[in-house]
Structure 1
Amino acid sequence: MGTLINIDNGGTLTDICVWDGNAFTFTKTLTTPHDLSECLFTGIEKASDALYGEADITRLLHATEHIRYSTTQGTNALVERRGPMIGILTTIGGLDAGMKRGAAEKKLFTGLVGDRFLTVDPEADLEFDAVQKINRLTTLGAARVVVAAATPEEERQLRHVLLRKFPRHLLGSVPLIYSWELAGDRDDARRAWSCVVNAFLHPTMERFLYSAERRLQAYKVVNPLLVYRNDGASSRVAKSVALKTYSSGPRGGLEGTAALARVYGLPHALMMDIGGTTTDVGVVEGGAVAVADRGGIEGVHISYPMSDVTSSGVGGSSVIQVVDSEITVGPQSVGAAPGPACFGFGGKQATITDVNLLLGVLDPDTYLDGTFTLDPSRSQAVITETIARPLGISLEEALIRMEHAYFQALSASFAPLVTEDTTLLAFGGAGPMSATGAARLAGVKQVLVPRTAAVFSAFGISFSDIGKTYEVIVAEPTTEAATETHDALLVRAERDMFQEGYALADCETSWQLLVENLEDGSVSRLPYQPGDEVDYPGSVVSLQLNAAAPLSHPDLTADAVVTATAAPAAGTRQVRSAADHVDDVPVHVLDDLSPGDGGEGPAIIEGPFFTARVLPGWSFRLTAAGDLLLNDKS
């Protein structure tokens, strides 16, 4: 088996996790927003140095069987509304009302579409009216237009008209996205929303993925770059839909969570992945990732299945500021450029990274394993200017209040999902630092911090295969129509998997019949084989095919009972626990600990590329697999 490189590109940091068939090697590097392919290759070069003892990017790339790439860029772009203005042209009466049923839909509609929504007049000349309204949408600022009709046939008629009047080869032509081409979903609002979000994400994803692929070609890499998707599978860049890259990093975290839940026998595992811009939360129950049949993006339903992940604008680089005399956290983020004030890149807004530096939780000289030095004076200046002075309080009091506000914001992101037997898996750059504080507010008694916490989403990508998922509406709910759909879908899957480099006959496939009751909207999932009887009047029937070409997955060390011993301390650190109190806190280095080593909070544990904080009342121990298990004894 060749080497597998797994990459998770975040708003502030990019994580690289390499599996060579025996062990993981991982590293981190700052994300470069001006050219995302730059941080990708810097990370691969750093990984080669860690793996071989010297930087040799060519050697690593040529030894690699697959490079799987995930990114939060789409998620972050949507959170911060950085993308093209979208217009909608439709023949469906009342579609705008259907797309704005609730507060979440109204908010997203305002942010992405606004007043750029026009309906073709059914009484007017179709060709004239459609052309006039496309022109009107572009005048209103639409850079991409979603075309949605009630039926595929009607949409094809519109497509024929618009392609003649707006040929693609003209300079300045606006891309037109047709709803039935993207999603075979009879629900008009879901289908239109899928196209709107896809159109919004597409330019961001396309730009840097093809840039990265071109740079790989310069190294004469034979195997194509694979994009990791939010359904847990991977595919070539050219065969990927932008919408399926949304929240793909968190899906990697969920797959890693599921792997550790099986190792530790956790009945209800809750992931908390704190990146630079967002905190992503998801559930693994009984060792399986929770998946919604119709995914949700910012509370808006789309046509595709998605892992049930919620993203909130609370991250390590989220801006902490005073609004109406209250301290607020996010959703605005300083990202990697300029980054937190302590990075020294010109940041003028406070973040939790600045707070933890001044509290003493972070050591300015050991950040990112000593590869990056933080500047406390910049953090002090920014927090004094933006928080302490506006509130009329001391710097020390400001730090304590900011930390509490951050714990509250984190806790609110996952508290509704907590059960009696919940174990919180805390990872991402800021996860281990804030886990015990947020967990206590949410009533969680056990926290697991993986040794790979700093790159855990990239670690989770290690468990993915190359795959495709298809869902097509059967023209009518009959046996003959289902068989025809099956045969057409089989041809399509054979073509797509061949383009991925695999014969469909060598892939794992599963077929399901999805029967949606028109009266109550309930969906039944039934196994399907060609020729099975299909007779469901009053229902919409769809055929779903999952095809996967399995890749090698890493073997994880099983948990085992180990003798409890006192964890050796490498030193102490002064950490502020109140405005007028500083504790002398022991510091433990994770790589110097042995399985069974443990202790009581307060304590700080320096892991590879992360710092974990153990608050008073919590205990910790190193497991047989090298992970940190923390328990609230209060």
Structure 2
Amino acid sequence: METLINIDNGGTLTDICVWNGASVSFTKTLTTPHDLSECLFTGIEKASTNLYGEPDITRLLHQAHHIRYSTTQGTNALVERKGPMIGIVTTIPDLRERMEVTEAEAKLFAGLVDERIAVLDPDSDDLEFEAVQEVNRLTTLGAARVVIVAATVEQERHLRQILLRKFPRHLLGSVPLIYSWELAGDRKDERRAWSCVVNSFLHPTMERFLYGAERRLKEYKVANPLLVYRNDGASSRVAKSIALKTYSSGPRGGLEATAALAKVYGLGHALMMDIGGTTTDVGVVRDHEVAALNRGTIEGVDISYPMSDVASTGVGGSSVIAVVDGAITVGPQSVGAAPGPACFGFGGKQATITDVNLLLGVLDADTYLDGTFTLDPERSRAVITETIAEPLGIGLPDALIRMENAYFAALAGSFASWVQSGTTLVAFGGAGPMSAAGAARLAGVNRVLIPRTAAVFSAFGIAFSDIGKTYEVLVGEASADAAAAIYDDLLARAERDMFQEGYALADCETSWQLVVENPDDGEVRRIGYLRGDEVDYPGHAVSLELTATATLPHPVLEADVEPAARPAPSAGTRQVRSSADQIDDVPVHVLDDLEPGHTGQGPAIIEGPFFTARVLPGWSFRITASGDIFLTDAH
């Protein structure tokens, strides 16, 4: 089987996971926000060194059947509000009110749109003049992209004709216009509008990097295109991808990998906790299936597309820990990879949990990222003293314990509402294994699973992806003939798009469904559809949905068999602060030296490949047959 390269780009670190059909090889590199293609190719070079003993990017790229890429850049941009100002032109008088019903909607509207909205009368004799005037007004207010949301498809097509004529695309400085009915055939105006607003906000960030990466790949004469991993669990070419579907795509990879482990370990309710540099992402796997929403949500706002049920909060390994009004706060601001935590030595002047764990003794300055990066504890000490200890009037040891407790509490708050009886927390990401036990105990979870591939788990999950397309079109006239016409149109689109992906539709798996939505309560039913079926569901919105999938090879994980227990050998001890006035000698275990069946008690530290796991007092651990770490809380 040919090699599959899976890449998960985070705000602080970029993960590269290579699957050759029999085994997995992985590595990490610092994200380079000034040029994301730089960390991409640095990571591929490091991966080639792992495989061949020397760097050979060309060889690895030419052996790759597919290169699949996921990124949190869109998620991070939205969390930190780093993107273009958006304007809205609409023919719906109360659209703003309908988009700001909840506190979350009002907050996102203020951050992305604010006062940049204009309402047009579609029956006005001066519609052409008014449309031009309003677009000019919005751009004067700073709108870099404008969303057109009309009540009907016909109204929107009319506005498109006017605006395309008055603002031709070939002119320098033309403001990109996006039309809601083109992006999402959704009967609910506010959902369609939000989809366009968020997509417009994410688009520039994704476009700049992805096309830049494609250009660099062409320099290596790579025949297979770069594929973008999406939040629905499928992948597609850059040119065939929608920016909105890249949001939270990394967590979807983590969820797919969590589902794979849930099958292996028989976990009925697995809760994913992926702690990256900027965010913590939480999602659920029930009965080995990823929990998904018929209509996704982004920051509490409903959109038109289905997506996995993932909540992202601004708590990560590089989140800023500060003192505000006499209290310690965590995030949502992040120092990212540049300047990064103070201990990175790149000029960071704000404290993070990475600095805290270094001074607590959880992290070893010389073994961070498997010894490829040396941390500077003196910089962490200076920053925490200046920004936390002195403002609170406390000593450094007390400040460290309070910061750690605040971080545990912030993490627990991100997933506590998802916990139920029998929940197992699957913790991964760069900072996940270090903080999982502390956060789990506060949230009432007594079982934590840390995968051996925890440091690159989302990238590993991308290996379960196929190339796929999903189309949904509203059936305006509820008749068999109308649905059949849409069927023919979707079939033609799918044939064209899958051909551009490199596959004949006849060789793909296809699934046809009617999406029947109750306007009163939002309940959605999916019903199998054959061309010619009746589609009359009185009082419901009915759409026709087509999914086309080109199946790729996936990793096969063996079922877990619990081996006989025996004490885990330690590689030494590390002094770790457990309170403001106590430091303990804690055993350190190296995961690569442990075998299935090895067990131990907390406090302990387990050094895995590119991660450090912390076993708190009261917790025990065992190494599974697959080399994963299972923690159990006896409290």
Same fold flag (TM > 0.5): yes
- Note the alpha carbon deviations across 1:280-304, whole angstroms, 9 max, x for none: 0000000000000110000000000
Cα deviations by residue, 1:469-494 (Å, 9 ceiling, x for unpaired): 11111121111111111111111111
Aligned-CA RMSD value: 0.8
Alignment check: 8 A CA contact 1:4 1:66 kept: yes
Does residue 511 of the first structure (1) align with residue 512 of the second (2)? yes
Q: Residue in 1 aligned with 2:115?
A: 115
- Residue pair 1:478, 1:536 contacting (<8 A) in 2 also: no
Amino acid at match of 1:302: I
Q: Is the 8 A contact 1:185 1:473 kept in 2?
A: yes
Written as runs of structure 1 = structure 2, the 5 A alignment for 1:107-146 is 107-122=107-122, 123=124, 125-146=126-147
Unpaired stretches in structure 1, ≥5 consecutive residues: none
Greater alpha carbon shift after TM alignment, 482-491 vs 225-234: 482-491
SS at match of 2:321: strand
8 Å CA contact 1:476–1:541 kept in 2: the answer is no
Q: Match for residue 75 of structure 1?
A: 75
TM-score, normalised relative to structure 2:
0.99
The alignment partner of 1:276 has SS state of coil
- Counterpart residue identity of residue 15, structure 1: D
- Matched with 1:4 is 4
What residue identity is the alignment partner of 2:85? Answer: M
Residue 105 of structure 2 corresponds to 105
Distance 2:455 2:356 in 1: 19
Map 1:157-172 → 2, pairs under 5 A? 157-172=158-173
Query: 2:398 — aligned with what?
Result: 397
The number of aligned residues is 634
* Contact persistence 1:604–1:611 (CA under 8 A): yes
Structure-to-structure mapping, 1:585-604, within 5 angstroms: 585-604=586-605
CA drift of 1:555 comes to: 1.3
The CA distance in 1 between the partners of 2:534 and 2:164, in whole Å, is: 41
- Give the aligned residue type for 1:250: P
Shift of 1:32: 0.2
Cα separation, 1, equivalents of 2:298 and 2:209: 22
- TM-superposed CA distance for 1:518, in Å, is 3.6
2: distance between equivalents of 1:263 and 1:137? 54
1:537-616 alignment to 2 at 5 Å?
537-616=538-617
The question of 1:92 aligning with 2:67 is answered: no
Distance 2:557 2:199 in 1: 36
Secondary structure at the counterpart of residue 620 of structure 2: strand
Moved more, 124-133 or 326-335: 124-133
For residues 565 and 507 of structure 1, the distance between their equivalents in structure 2, rounded to whole angstroms, comes to 49
Q: Give me the whole-angstrom Cα distance separating, in 2, the residues matched to 1:113 and 1:534.
A: 38
Residue of structure 2 equivalent to 1:429: 430
Paired AA for residue 193 in structure 2: A
Letter in 2 for 1:228: Y
Alignment correspondent of 1:196:
197
CA change 1:371–1:92 in 2 (3 A) is same
Amino acid at match of 1:280: D
Structure 2 counterpart of 1:620: 621
Q: Which residue of 1 aligns with 2:62?
A: 62
SS of 1:599's equivalent? Answer: strand
Letter in 2 for 1:577: S
Is the 1:282–1:308 contact (alpha carbons within 8 Å) kept by the matching residues of 2? yes
- Deviation, 1:568, is 0.3
Distance of 1:498 and 1:565 partners within structure 2? 55
Unaligned runs of 5+ in 2: none
Structural mapping, 1:373-522, within 5 Å: 373-522=374-523
Distance 1:5 1:522 in 2: 39
Q: Deviations over 1:300-335 (max 9, x none)?
A: 000000100000000000000000000000000000
Distance 1:47 1:493 in 2: 35
1:333-412 pair list within 5 angstroms: 333-412=334-413
Corresponding letter in the other structure for 1:477: A
Which AA in structure 1 matches 2:113? V
Q: Which amino acid aligns with 2:54?
A: E
The Cα shift of 1:534 comes to 2.2
- Describe the SS at the equivalent of 2:374: coil
Q: CA deviation at 1:538?
A: 2.3
Deviations 1:555-595 (A, max 9, x none): 11321020101000000000000000000000000000010
Aligned to 2:257: 256
Aligned-pair CA distance for 1:124: 5.1
Shift of 1:520: 4.1
SS at match of 2:577: strand
1:412 alignment partner, SS class: helix
Whole-angstrom distance in 2 between the partners of 1:190 and 1:519: 15
Separation of aligned partners in 2, 1:518 and 1:475: 14
1:136-165 per-residue CA deviation (whole Å, 9 max, x = no partner) reads: 001100000001100111000000000111
1:519 is displaced (CA, Å) by: 4.2
Hey, what does 1:151 align to over in structure 2?
A: 152
The 2-side partners of 1:252 and 1:523 are apart by 25
The residue type paired with residue 354 of structure 1 is D
Indicate the residue corresponding to 2:39 in structure 1. 39
Contact 1:255 1:460 in 2 (8 A): yes
Q: Secondary structure at the match of 2:368?
A: coil
Contact 1:566–1:597 (8 Å) recurs in 2: yes
Is the Cα–Cα contact under 8 Å of residues 6 and 68 in structure 1 kept in the other structure?
Answer: yes
Residue number in structure 1 paired with 2:16 = 16
Q: Distance in 2 between matches of 1:488 and 1:171?
A: 35
Structure 2 distance, partners of 1:514, 1:566, is: 55
Structure 1 residue 52: Cα displacement: 1.0
**Secondary structure of residue in 1 paired with 2:371:** coil
- Residues 477, 539 of structure 1: 8 Å contact kept: no
**What's the secondary structure of 2:430's corresponding residue?**
coil
2:156 partner SS: helix
Match of 2:50 in 1: 50
Whether the aligned pair in 2 keeps the contact of 1:86 and 1:196 (CA below 8 Å) is: yes
Describe the superposition over 1:490-529 as per-residue Cα deviations: whole angstroms up to 9, x where unpaired. 1111110000000111111111111123444432211111
Provide the rounded CA distance (Å) in 1 between the counterparts of 2:401 and 2:523: 49
Asked if the contact 1:570–1:588 (Cα under 8 Å) also holds between the matched residues in 2, the reply is yes
- Give the Å deviation of 1:443: 0.6
% same residue: 78
Residue 442 of structure 1 aligns to which amino acid in structure 2? A
Cα distance per residue 1:441-465 (max 9 Å; x no partner): 0010100000000000000000000
Mapped to 1, the partners of 2:559 and 2:522 lie a distance apart of: 43
